[in-house]
Amino acid sequence: MKKTMTSRERVLTAISREEADRVPIDYVGNGGINQRLISHFGLAPGDYVGLLNALDVDFRHVGAPYIGPRLHPEIPGINVDPCYGTQTKWIDHPSGGYNDYTGFPLKDATAETLNNWPMPSPDDFDYTAIQKQIAMYPDKCLMAGGAGTPDIINSNGMIRTMERILLDLATEDEAGMAYIDRKNAIQLEVLSRTLEAGKGRIDLLGMGEDLGTQIGPMLSMRMFRKIIRPRHQKFVDLARSHNIPVMIHCCGSSSWAFDDFIEMGIGVVDTLQPEAFNMAPAYLKSTFGDRLAFHGCISTAGPVAYGTVDDVIANCRETLETMMPGGGYCFSPTHCLQDNSPTENVLAMYESAHRFGMYE
């Protein structure tokens, strides 16, 4: 057995493509499964930090909370984001429910509306909270940003519709692109100030951009390189200026872009849906394992949701045996674990990470 590492040491070793004491562990779940797990561990209702501790999760997120004025008015029965104006509504389903996007207030917006749509000022975030958050997690791997940064296609589709945002990109619509760039600039500045406030203690910058369907790319390589990549590069360069690695969340069949990620300076790819085209763990490890680290691979649409406990154990063990050699792997679900995942399956998933994820 190797000497026990702190979470921070473990993650940084793994994403440097070296073998740690064990595979780092991460967690993300929907509200329903969160509460079932919290109850299982006998924690106080809503004790999400306690849940992460119970699962021995190595990652924690830090960020500056928004403290500015509400920029978008409330609507009865609708959750309206005070900063950017996206709208969600609770939708029941047989296993629980979730807040789904609705309204799409910028679907048919004129250029004038897009240009004048209220967005937050980077001055209206509380950067003093960063050091308080850091103090809470002295030994964890701390990440700023995440799947919604800059998330050009998905997050803007949530307010403009996916059809409209893809048309903006395809036609390079002047007002649509100006809206995207204005939002990106705010995110970049907030992240810059967050990293400065971290004073060298933030370990990882998170990004996101969904580039694939289940069967192939969602956009052309030409569009990616002309429209998406230059905008992403600004965030990668920010991380580089602070000497920290970048992890990008990228759904679907996205390995077609991984060589570009590597050229850009991205070191870790998250999600890794194994059922999507050219996303199987063995393919990723053999094709990119000497140049990229991986975070994910445990499908939320696979055995964890639909199989038995034994199926879950077998799937997790096989994934670990494929991805662990030489380091470069962090154990995590591909997306939020959903309410339809049986509690015993999720517990088996994390027990498998500890049982089979140790390095000798």
pLDDT tens, 262-306? 999 999 999 999 999 999 999 999 999 999 999 999 999 999 999
Query: What mean pLDDT value characterizes the chain?
Result: 97
Q: What's this model's pTM, rounded to 2 decimal places?
A: 0.97
Q: Percent of the chain beyond pLDDT 70?
A: 100
pLDDT tens, 49-65? 999 999 999 999 999 99
Which pLDDT value is given to residue 1?
62
Phi, psi of 79 (to 5 degrees): -90, 115
Least confident of 94-103, 250-259, 341-350: 94-103
| Cβ atoms of 271 and 296 closer than 8 Å | yes
Distance, CA of 164 to chain centre: 24
pLDDT tens, 102-152? 999 999 999 999 999 999 999 999 999 999 999 999 999 999 999 999 999
Torsion of CA 132, 244, 330, 11, to 10 degrees: -60
CATH number assigned to the domain with residue range 7-69+106-356, chosen from the 4 options 1.10.340.30, 3.90.245.10, 3.40.50.920, 3.20.20.210? 3.20.20.210
**SS3 category, 212:** strand
**Using CA atoms, how far apart are residues 198 and 282, in angstroms rounded to an integer?**
37
**Using CA atoms, how far apart are residues 313 and 344, in angstroms rounded to an integer?**
11
Edge-to-edge strand list for the sheet holding 246-250:
59-61, 141-150, 204-208, 246-250, 268-271, 293-298, 329-333
> Could you tell me how many residues make up the chain?
360
Domain residue limits, the chain:
7-69+106-356
**SS3 category, 53:** helix
**Using CA atoms, how far apart are residues 156 and 182, in angstroms rounded to an integer?**
12
